[in-house]
Copies of this chain bind each other. A is one copy, B any other.
């Protein structure tokens, strides 16, 4: 537990859901159900003007009527009712209100923007802090707080602040499939009161958070953010996806979270100078989260690549170079070792290791991976799962089993950064359960269980690894 003022706010002893109801299509119902289903063990108070019970919990007509103090409020009522609700809350010790309630400045309308400002003023007067408005609020799996029913229950080490609610749910699922779990996720919407800098400061000293991820559409206070970013990036990796970099994206950001964009150039400079890392898409945000989570520091760009067939080796080498990696020729001492072991293709095999030529050579791709792990010329390793070896179903499945076992062995024996590439597929209903794609799922399961990060393409693995090389190079220079 930290002593940061947000710590108390994010650890409420009781939560009231204002606008809770029995209607399963209402967000008030969903938030209440989420707290029940996700195992929030403390007090939950549904608030509804008439209902005496919601989802089996005693309901109250207003916050004022709740007999015990309420720490945290989830507001699902219309914008026009928020001021009154804040008054009620201030009489019952409310520390923080998460305003799911939207339709404020993001509408681009003066009246709504003015109401938003009044709400901020009221919050300041009453001492109530606000998350939002126009957001999904908090996902804190350790405490059983969630904004979506099927996000992972287990806790992890990634902290996320996101301007987008749906985007944060999408991202939590996306990253979870790649082995990432979260300490806390805050969907912050318009960030009227508590903003990106507050949560960045919080994450930077939160012992539960090892990697800080942000999806930002705008900044409430650029100068403060740059300072917070410098501080945070000096202690933990901070990876930021900035939405609204282009003209149309900026327009969309304004209408989504009332965000004001700045110059993209200034943004990139600020991120780089602070020692943080930029991502260009939700996918890249996930790739970088995965890389920092699973990999030790990557001290250089010299990569050994194994496992691809011919085509994937050639294209993979190009993709590694584009990612800033250096696909060095196979070191002489490795060739000499092949020769002394009587490997007939000792002078032919290269880096990347084309596993379509190793058959019958007495040498497997994994053997070479193991030797690369021991060889000091390599800074990191990429193992591509070769999907289309010339074999039948049983041969391919058995081949992958052996391959994965070998990769996990290398990972256990070596501290060298090791990335695995397993492709994703656009399956339709008919072939969703086809053996090839189910087998890839099984490969992923085993690699993740072996703490090996997986990437859908060599291109993405290389791009992420290249950014890690840059990151650690800069840190070493500091």
Interface residues of A (CB under 8 A from B): 24-25, 27, 30, 102, 106-109, 136, 148-150, 162-170, 173-174, 177-178, 215, 217, 241, 243-249, 251-253, 255-257, 280-283, 309-315, 317-322, 326-329, 345, 347-352, 354, 356-357, 386-392, 395, 422-433, 436, 438, 441-442, 444-445, 448, 454, 456-457, 459
Some 9 contacts from A to B, beta carbons below 8 A apart, are A165-B310, A170-B387, A177-B427, A247-B321, A248-B326, A255-B350, A256-B314, A283-B457, A424-B426
Contact of A249 among B255, B309, B315, B459 (CB under 8 A): B315
Instruction: Provide the bound-state CA to CA distance between A183 and B334, in Å.
Output: 44
- Known contacts A107-B345, A109-B348, A329-B251; A256/B311 CB under 8 A: yes
Tell whether, in the assembled complex, residue B167 and residue A318 are in contact, meaning their CB atoms are under 8 Å apart: no
Number of identical monomers bound together in the oligomeric complex: 2
Tell whether, in the assembled complex, residue A314 and residue B281 are in contact, meaning their CB atoms are under 8 Å apart: no
- Known contacts A426-B454, A444-B426; A166/B356 CB under 8 A: yes
A191 to chain B, nearest CB (A): 13
Cβ of A433: which chain B residues have Cβ within 8 Å of it?
432-433
Instruction: Provide the bound-state CA to CA distance between A241 and B311, in Å.
Output: 11
Query: Which single residue of chain B is at the shortest CB-CB distance from A135?
Result: B310
Contact of A166 among B256, B280, B390, B426 (CB under 8 A): B390
- Known contacts A109-B348, A356-B165; A315/B454 CB under 8 A: no
Instruction: Provide the bound-state CA to CA distance between A317 and B253, in Å.
Output: 10
Cβ of A321: which chain B residues have Cβ within 8 Å of it?
246-249
Tell whether, in the assembled complex, residue B348 and residue A255 are in contact, meaning their CB atoms are under 8 Å apart: yes
Cβ of A391: which chain B residues have Cβ within 8 Å of it?
25
Query: Which single residue of chain B is at the shortest CB-CB distance from A326?
Result: B248
- Known contacts A354-B255, A433-B433, A444-B426; A311/B457 CB under 8 A: no
